Structure 1
Amino acid sequence: MSSTFPLRDTSASAASGWVDEWLRRARPVDPGHHDELRLPDGQLRPAWRALATQLGAPFDELSRCQEVLARQIREDGITYNVYNAAGGSSRPWSLEALPLLISPEEWPWLERGIAQRADLLNRILVDTYGEQTLLREAMLPSALVLGHPGYLRGLQGTQPLGGVYLHVVAFDLARGPDGAWWVVGQRTQAPSGLGYVMQNRLSVSRLFPEAYRALNVQHLASTYRQLLDTMSTLAQPCAGGDTPSLALLTPGPYNETYFEHAYLARYLGLPLVEGCDLTVRDDRLFLKTVQGLSPIHGLLRRLDDDFCDPLELRTHSTLGIPGLTQVVRAGNVVLANALGTGFLESPAVHGFLPALSQHLLGEDLILPSLPSWWCGEASAWAAVRPQLAQQVIRPTYPVLDTPGGLSARRKRQQETVLGFTLSPQEVRAWEETVAQDPAAHTVQTFIPYGQTPVWSEGGLSLRSASVRVYALSDGRGGWRVLPGGMTRIATRDDGPVSLQQGGSSLDTWVISSEPVDAFSMLPTSVKLEELAQRQSPVASRTGENLFWMGRYTERCEQQLRLTERLISLRAEDDEPEQSLLQALSALGVQFGMVPPGTPPLDKLGRLFERAALDALGDAQAGQGAYSLAFNLSELTRTAQALRERLSPAHARLLRAMATDFQQALCPSVPVDPTALAARVSTVQDALAHLSVQLGAVTGAQSDRMTRDAGWRLLTVGRLLERLIGHVRILQAFWRNQALQHPQGFDQALEMFDSTITFRARFQRRLEVPALVALLVMDESNPRALACVVRRLRTELGKLPERAGAPSDLLALLPPLGVGATLASLCDPVSGHGAMMNLLDHLLDAGWRLSDEVGRLYFAHAESTDSMVSA
């Protein structure tokens, strides 16, 4: 592990000076907040003193470290989607260089308190979906539980495998003004953040490796391993003696934390799947793969309960798996976490936990919850109503959105309101709102969050912080607490702690006084039986995205070449031939370079050129032209859905292409849109840079990806697009007789990237038979139709067997060559017709192959028995 931070003299005299410098650079804490950096007497806390001793006082280096972090985050594509941004945009993940430090004296107490709470919540779920003693004895109000949309009546009496409802539970902690820790929230459905926790740890520990080792920071990997081991153990009964198959369920790339889903799936070695990747057959869950249906025995889900099954839960959801609830009832899948845990996230539950802890565990809560009053209890509402101006008003229940949206009243009920920010009139208005529907509101005590240091503008600012910590079940009634967590801070010194509102994150270092666990998720040794070549099944959605990645890559390259040919006409000394203009006009429409109905080049050439230039940067295809920017955008979107499959460098390059192209088309010095020559020059520069990038992408796809079924589908997609595109080019040139003229002849060679090869073989003999031999019949020319067809036969033949495939696919292609001889295509009398018939046949074969590949490997339309893979 290499450090970006310089080594420092750690002598006692130097350390004392550095500590003083840290204190001098630190701004004061806001009144009423706990100071994580300093003791009440103004000195650094021991943990921070130890960190200051290790890092010294090169504060200019801290600024550089922050820049290194930001650059690494951008390059790695670590993002967080902000729903309230224009268009639901994603922004780079925000991470500060300095960590939050938890001392070795505090952590054991926090660890016990978190494990106790996780155990308590799981016991509440066992009772609530079982005998319901707590409801009958009014330890939990029935109206609170049964009226919560997170309680799923359809699962009453259903116990998950092993009796484990909560495999992962997250608690949000904050320090009060006196330094005491409080639990301010809990997440029981699909807790987020585990991927970001590991990413933060890897990023920050690389900045300060010496300090990380010297402070004896506890490691995280073994806790992640615990999660996999527990799920595998619990899933054994439904795996029928085989090794259980696990996957991570994500809502998809538009979810706010999709990056961490992909990152966590890769780190854990799990396939990342969406609801559309899974299907239910005979009360069992299957992953749709290009090899067939593969059973899934466990899902680590990042999808909230009500989205998981559109048959029984949220009916208009397109994210879930129809029939999943029935699979749960049948005991054929382990869900982490189990369905129906959402009601425990209600803030109203906190008010009942102290008594429930005594009742179920026989002990007091180690970690206190914020004092909470559920206003559905008349006595609680009467007690807290006079104090409303000093409290926090929160919604008891989540209001599930509907296709028609929420009413203004329902939206108001969903607000979290700080009483001290309200005017007297607003307080009275909120009293009336709560009184109209008391059960929908919960009141909690407000505490100002403790503040931790972050490096900002040459000094240490103090920001309000909360820490999300995670407890993981061992499947046997015990709990393991992740020694660390995700710390979130306010974007301002005393603002809201919210990533959606621009907050940032910190790594969380739990300092240990004992040797740290050195376990790594990377295997230290390989067993001989593991050396046998085994490939994981490729999900159908993944295969489809790879298929279209190949097609979009080739489509972009063909459009780039066509645009270059259109631009090259302006540089010709001679007036372009009418036949060439007609051919390029037809191709411009067919390839989506201009909107349908644009006058052709041979009629209104300048209008055609302007339309092509206007469409070039239109990523939304607003005028109906699906040109380069649109297809680059689609390529980027496809790559986003394949994050777990692509190397960081490959993914970074794909993200950069669309951005770089748009920036190149919009230079810092604006070009007059009416000055066609200046616009053309700008476009030429943009195309030249894009050409280099596309070459790099092609190299990464062909030379840096494993040759599994997914890669073969990518290659098939690219070859199909090449076949269809090159056939169209030849059709346009042949039909318009553009090859009879030198200009058309040269343009066709350029479109096929074969000019150098042609001249090396035939010099300047611009004869059509020579061109046909090179562009149609030559199996050694990767752009020739014969070579494309030959490679298609090879790759289709290696696709997984599926109910007749690939033999059925191969039957659509000529068995040898392109299905015609050179002599027949060059015959003076019948050659024109033979060429057109050949091109029509190959074009039809390309489209039919595209449909058949989708039907066989993506749609899964056959019966169950023929689809289940061994």
Structure 2
Amino acid sequence: MSANQLPLNDAPAAALACVESMLSQAHLIDGEHYDELREPDGSVRPTWTDFWSHLGAPLQDLSRRQHLLTQQIQEDGVTYNVYNATGGPSRPWSLEVLPMIVSASDWQALERGVMQRATLLERVLRDVYGEQRVLHEALLPAALVQGHPGYIRGLQGVRPIGGVYLHMLAFDLVRGPDGAWWVAAQRTQAPSGLGYVMQNRLIVSRLFPDAYRAMNVQHLASSYRQLVDTMAALAAQCAGGEPPRLALWTPGPYNETYFEQAYLARYLGLPLVEGGDLIVRDEHLFLKTVQGLEPIHGLLRRLDDDYCDPLELRVDSTLGVPGLMQVVRAGNVVLANALGTGFLESPAVHGFLPALSEALLGESLQLPSAPTWWCGEAAAWEAVKPTLAQQLVRPTYPCRPGPECETLYGPTLPASSLKTLEARISQNPSAFTAQNYVPYAQTPVWTEDQLQMRGASLRVYALSDGHGGWRVVPGGMTRIATRDDGPVSMQLGGSSLDTWVLTEGAVDAFSMLPQSVRLEELAQRQRPVSSRTAENLFWMGRYTERCEQQLRLAQALINLRAIDDEPDEAVLRALSALGITNGLVPPGTPGLDRSGRVFERVALEALIDADAKQGAFSLAFNLSALSRSAEALRERLLPSQTRLMRTMVSDFQSMASAGGHDEAVPISARSGEVMAALDHLAIQLSAVTGAQTDRMTRDAGWRLMSVGRMVERLVGYASFLRAFWREGAFQHPQGFDVVLDLFDSTITFRARFQRRLEVPAMLALLVLDETNPRSLACVVRRMRTELGKLPARTGAQDDLLAWLPYEGLGVTLEELCDPQAGHKAVQSLLDRLVEAGWKLSDEIGRQYFAHAEPNDSMVST
């Protein structure tokens, strides 16, 4: 039997045929790489035999499942940000359909080694920031610690709460040709990926439910619960008897792993905060919320050390919290992980861990690193220099991205480059570390409708229990290369696999859903609304309404040009003015009454100009802004909501751009394409507003979103009426029709007044009728209601409500229709309402987003 025709023991005949067909496509692995699929004798490894036997589908079904996986990633909006990508930073997360399978026996050995390593690194940190025995005895060179920017001198002698430095660790592992695991890197500052690990599991386990259950794949949820419980237990020591408040600290939406940070925050039930959301007062940390300042006792941080405090660390950081170091020194916050752990990420440290393990633990290191030489030691550099062509050369210390910071693969370098590299190391040997290259193990991947083998690296996570013990998350993130010999890197286009760890015992059935909730926890579970979140919600409401108004204006322009009757000049002037003030055309564009063809062509081009290159902030621009606000609110919105807003942007651009920019294309033809795009967009916007109304929790953030929408509606609709009133456009039936369309009130008007196009009827319906949701009186009434329900702040509601009439609009229909003073009364009312809208917007920002009050009025306990 050939190596490609492999027995499946007791597997069904159909499964046997399927597997033999697949394996015939998978090339054999040479002896330099470990084969995750085959035993050395060519037989299928038992784990994969078991998996294939539960597949229960023909070969082509894997392609169908891969399609379902890709579709699910797109629907969930799972992304990974690539900093140097052109045309925008985000790309869909890359996940393969087949899992990485780790046997129970393999995992037990790996787990023991990871826990020992985690214990060792924790001991090293306690010593380095304590008595410094390892430095005095030269077990770890001082240059690697005190010369590393990850060592923070200002924390020497400062013991973190509970004495825990490392709450979460990540180790990047590779399996050598003999099947042994080696540590390639360790992440001690802010390990990333746990959100992707859970997302991968949720998707892939549903694609293979039978195999997932039958193979006893260990679950992940209890590990995530332990992370939160450990932080909460430690943070309780500085919470003053109150339930501790925790948060997940993100660098922001442009960070490469922002999606998984938002996903993890939602899964763990923690608010997602940025540095700008936090503030230090009297050596305590607070979250800026719409209720005021609320104390924060624990932060699961995803920000590297040097960005965390611009006062004492990196002064140019806009991501950190000024004064955070002082809060840490005062023992008033738990940081996971503690500041100052970054020096352990240096590859040079790996070479000293065996001796450190013997000295600090009295044990040999069970999970070794690849043989490592720090070139800063003269003897090490002389020893490794002759073998430079077989080594990986890494920077010892952090450096800015660029050629000087790249990891160099000696086996791939030509002789001239090796000579140059040797000269560079000789000039500054301490800046370089050499490691033996461990060839990546090869694991099966289904790609391009066939089975292929790819190099794989496994990232595993260890979580502290707060008492010196560790739990290794039973799984992890397997990353694969896109080519046989390519690098394993997500930034360089790599992909990921779900990691199945098999267990010989019972599967842990723990769920993140709590079995019982204490009454005192209920208030804490009503998460505070940070000021940044509230501001994003406020602007999401405004952008939603702004898009709808611009859509109706664009439809009015196209419809007016399409009618058979000659457009009234007053109506044209009013629409021209609104086109400029609402961003449909740039200032200085000739009006419709002067050059209708030019105005319409400019407006059509500006509609799809998402970058506002012409100076017109039109529909595509505001749709993109709406989508960005949704991306910044991932932890609050349903995936379907953010997906819908992304879809609106792409759909509108593709449909409205179908005619291109060819001057030879008639305006009428392009108008038809744009009108179809606008009609489609109108349906999508209705779905967006429906989700905002009925599928979001009505907390303070939702109320500010509603207020934002009403502010935009008040200013926009009052401006619509004011433009037509000033131009006297209601003297022509076209003026009535256009305004009724802009207010979406045509059907209501005709049901009440038929074709009696009279000014009093229009004022009654569009200005004073509180039953019409588009009328100015109804908008003001809703604003009064929502403003009155905002969180109580000193004088906030009174200051805001003062800009609105106490009751109704403060004017009667008789006054507005008075033959002598009515025209001026309408003009004055509309001016007041527009001004009130802008003033309210400014005051809301001051009260709830800027936190400009004195300290004692801001703290909420």
Tell me which interval the TM-score lies in, with the shorter structure as reference length. Answer: over 0.9
Q: Is contact 1:155-1:340 (8 Å) kept?
A: yes
- State how far apart, in whole Å, the 2-side matches of 1:684 and 1:280 are: 52
Structure 1 stretch 691-700 or stretch 534-543: which is displaced more?
534-543
Give 1:144 shift.
1.4
**Cα displacement (A) at 1:668:** 8.7
**Partner of residue 615 from structure 1, selected from 566, 581, 606:** 606
**Correspondences of 1:411-490 after superposition (within 5 Å):** 411-490=402-481
Tell whether 2:776 aligns with 1:785.
yes
Question: Which amino acid counterpart does residue 168 of structure 2 have in structure 1?
Answer: V
Q: For residue 3 of structure 2, what is the aligned residue in structure 1?
A: none
Number of the residue aligned with 2:786: 795
Distance, in Å, in 2 between the alignment partners of 1:776 and 1:284 is: 50
Q: Which moved more, 1:602-611 or 1:781-790?
A: 602-611
Tell me the residue number matched to 1:766.
757
CA deviations on 1:279-313 (whole Å, 9 max, x unpaired) are: 11111100100011110000000111111111111
**2:307 paired residue number:** 307
1:539 to 530, 539, 548: 530
Alpha-carbon deviation of 1:33?
Answer: 1.1
Cα displacement (A) at 1:456: 2.0
Q: Which residue of 2 aligns with 1:601?
A: 592
**Partner residue, 1:721:** 712
Other-structure match for 2:493: 502
CA distance, structure 2, for counterparts of residue 819 and residue 534 of structure 1: 42
The superposition leaves residues 26-67 of structure 1 with CA deviations (integer Å, 9 ceiling, x where unpaired) of 322255211000000100001111111111461111110000
Offset at 1:20?
3.8
Task: Please say if 1:191 is aligned against 2:191.
Answer: yes
Q: Which amino acid aligns with 1:277?
A: D
Tell me, in whole angstroms, the C-alpha distance in 1 between the residues paired with 2:215 and 2:642: 35
SS in 1 for 2:719: helix
Q: Provide the rounded CA distance (Å) in 1 between the counterparts of 2:285 and 2:338.
A: 15
Q: Deviations over 1:692-728 (max 9, x none)?
A: 0001111111111111111100000000000000111
In the alignment, the residues of structure 2 paired with residue 830 and residue 528 of structure 1 have an alpha-carbon distance, to the nearest angstrom, of 62
In the alignment, what sits opposite 1:322?
Answer: 322
Q: Is the 8 A contact 1:22 1:57 kept in 2?
A: no
Please report how far the alpha carbon of residue 533 of structure 1 lies from its aligned counterpart in structure 2 after TM superposition: 10
**Separation in structure 2 between the aligned mates of residue 440 and residue 422 of structure 1, nearest angstrom:** 19
Match of 1:99 in 2: 99
How far residue 527 of structure 1 moved from its aligned partner, in angstroms, is 5.7
Is the CA contact (8 Å cut-off) linking 1:671 and 1:679 kept in structure 2?
Answer: no
AA aligned to 1:809 is: L
Question: Contact 1:82–1:90 (CA<8 Å) still a contact in 2?
Answer: yes
How much is the aligned-residue C-alpha RMSD, in angstroms? 1.7
Q: Please give the per-residue CA displacement for 1:427-485, whole angstroms capped at 9, x wherever unaligned.
A: 11111111111111001101110010011233321100000000000000000100000
Aligned-pair distance for 1:532? 7.8
- The code of the aligned residue for 1:466 comes to S
What SS class does the counterpart of residue 594 from structure 2 fall into?
coil
Written as runs of structure 1 = structure 2, the 5 A alignment for 1:402-417 is 411-417=402-408
Q: Using structure 1 for the length normalisation, give the TM-score.
A: 0.96
Q: Is the 8 A contact 1:62 1:455 kept in 2?
A: yes
1:577 equivalenced with 2:568 (yes/no)? yes
For the Cα contact (< 8 Å) 2:118–2:470, is it kept in 1? yes
* Cα contact 1:548–1:714 (8 A) shared by 2: yes
Gaps of 5+ in 2: 1-7
Distance between the aligned counterparts of 1:275 and 1:659, measured in 2?
A: 32
| Superimposed CA distance per residue, residues 4-24 of structure 1 (whole angstroms, 9 cap, x where no aligned partner) | xxxx99865555555544433
For 1:750 and 1:56, the matched residues in 2 are separated by: 58
User: Aligned pair in 2 of structure 1 residues 529, 426: CA closer, same or farther (>3 Å)?
Assistant: closer
> Where do 1:626-645 residues align within 5 Å?
626-645=617-636
CA contact (8 A) 1:776 1:785 kept: yes
Which residues of 2 match residues 52-63 of structure 1 at below 5 A? 52-56=52-56, 58-63=58-63
1:261-272 equivalences under 5 Å are 261-272=261-272
Matched residue SS, 2:293: strand
Cα distance in 2, alignment partners of residues 283 and 49 from structure 1: 59
Is 1:90 equivalent to 2:83 in the alignment? no
SS at match of 1:55: coil
Tell me the residue number matched to 1:512.
Answer: 503
C-alpha distance in structure 2 between counterparts of 1:14 and 1:64, whole Å: 18
Q: Distance in 2 between matches of 1:255 and 1:136?
A: 39
Shift of 1:315: 1.1
Q: Which among 646, 667, 686 is matched to residue 676 of structure 1?
A: 667
Aligned to 2:370: 370
Instruction: Report what 1:218 is aligned to.
Output: 218
Distance (Å, rounded) in 2 between the aligned partners of 1:88 and 1:784:
40
> Deviations along 1:45-96, whole A, 9 cap, x unmatched?
0111111111146111111000000000001100001112114421111111
What does 1:638-717 correspond to in 2, within 5 Å? 638-667=629-658, 674-717=665-708
Quote the offset at 1:630 in angstroms.
0.3
8 Å Cα contact 1:580-1:733 kept in structure 2: yes
Distance 2:546 2:9 in 1: 58
Q: Give the equivalent residue in structure 1 for 2:349.
A: 349
The 5 A counterparts of 1:104-119 are 104-119=104-119
What is the CA–CA distance in structure 1 between the aligned matches of 2:352 and 2:337, rounded to whole Å? Answer: 22
1: CA distance, partners of 2:676 / 2:436: 61
The residue that corresponds to 1:138 in the other structure is 138
Contact 1:673 1:679 in 2 (8 A): no
The one-letter amino acid of 1:44's match is V
Deviation at 1:622, TM superposition (A): 0.9
Q: Contact conserved, 2:89 with 2:254, CA < 8 A, in 1?
A: no
Q: Is structure 2 residue 173 aligned with structure 1 residue 173? A: yes
Letter of the 1:361 counterpart: L
Single out whichever of 451-460 and 791-800 deviates more from structure 2.
Answer: 451-460
Following the alignment from structure 2 to structure 1, what is the Cα–Cα distance between the partners of residues 662 and 713? 34
Matched residue, 1:858:
849
SS in 1 for 2:60: helix
Distance between the aligned counterparts of 1:735 and 1:15, measured in 2? Answer: 78
Name the CA distance, whole Å, in 2 between partners of 1:299 and 1:363.
Answer: 33
How many Å separate the matches in 1 of 2:760 and 2:346?
A: 77
Residue of structure 2 equivalent to 1:360:
360
Cα contact 1:712–1:799 (8 A) shared by 2: yes
Residue 284 of structure 1 is matched in structure 2 by: 284
Deviation at 1:202, TM superposition (A): 0.6
Aligned residues: 854
Task: Write out per-residue CA displacement over residues 265-290 of structure 1, whole angstroms, 9 at most, x where no aligned residue.
Answer: 00000000111111111111001000
Deviations 1:233-290 (A, max 9, x none): 1111110011110000001111111000010000000000111111111111001000
For 1:535, give the aligned amino acid. Q
Q: Is the Cα contact below 8 Å between 1:671 and 1:678 reproduced in 2?
A: no
Shift of 1:666: 2.3
* C-alpha displacement of 1:143: 1.0
The answer as to whether partners of 1:23 and 1:44 remain within 8 angstroms in 2 is: no
Kindly indicate whether the alpha-carbon contact (under 8 Å) linking 1:19 and 1:44 is maintained by their aligned counterparts in 2.
no
Provide closer, same or farther for how the CA distance between residues 271 and 501 of structure 1 changes in structure 2, counting only shifts above 3 A: same
The separation in 2 between residues aligned to 1:300 and 1:632, in whole angstroms, is 33
Q: Distance in 2 between matches of 1:186 and 1:117?
A: 10
- CA 1:286–1:673 in 2, change beyond 3 Å: closer, same or farther? farther
Distance 1:180 1:655 in 2: 45
Residue 743 of structure 1 corresponds to 734
Tell me, yes or no, if the aligned pair for 1:188 and 1:337 is still in contact at 8 Å: yes
Whole-angstrom distance in 2 between the partners of 1:540 and 1:666 = 38
Contact 1:235 1:334 (C-alpha < 8 Å) held by counterparts: yes
For residues 694 and 12 of structure 1, the distance between their equivalents in structure 2, rounded to whole angstroms, comes to 52
Cα pair distance change 1:840/1:373, threshold 3 Å: same
Mapped contact 2:219–2:509 kept (Cα < 8 A) = yes
Counterpart CA distance in 1 for 2:13 and 2:751 is 75
Counterpart of 2:273? Answer: 273
**In the alignment, is the contact (CA less than 8 A) between 2:480 and 2:494 conserved in 1?**
yes
1:357–1:158 Cα change, 3 Å:
same
Q: 2:760, 2:592 → 1: CA distance?
A: 28
> Displacement, 1:673?
6.0
Kept after mapping to 1: 8 A contact 2:243/2:524: no
Once structures 1 and 2 are overlaid, which stretch shifts more, 712-721 or 319-328?
Answer: 319-328
Contact 1:81 1:89 in 2 (8 A): yes
Paired with 2:67 and 2:660, the residues of 1 have a C-alpha distance of 28
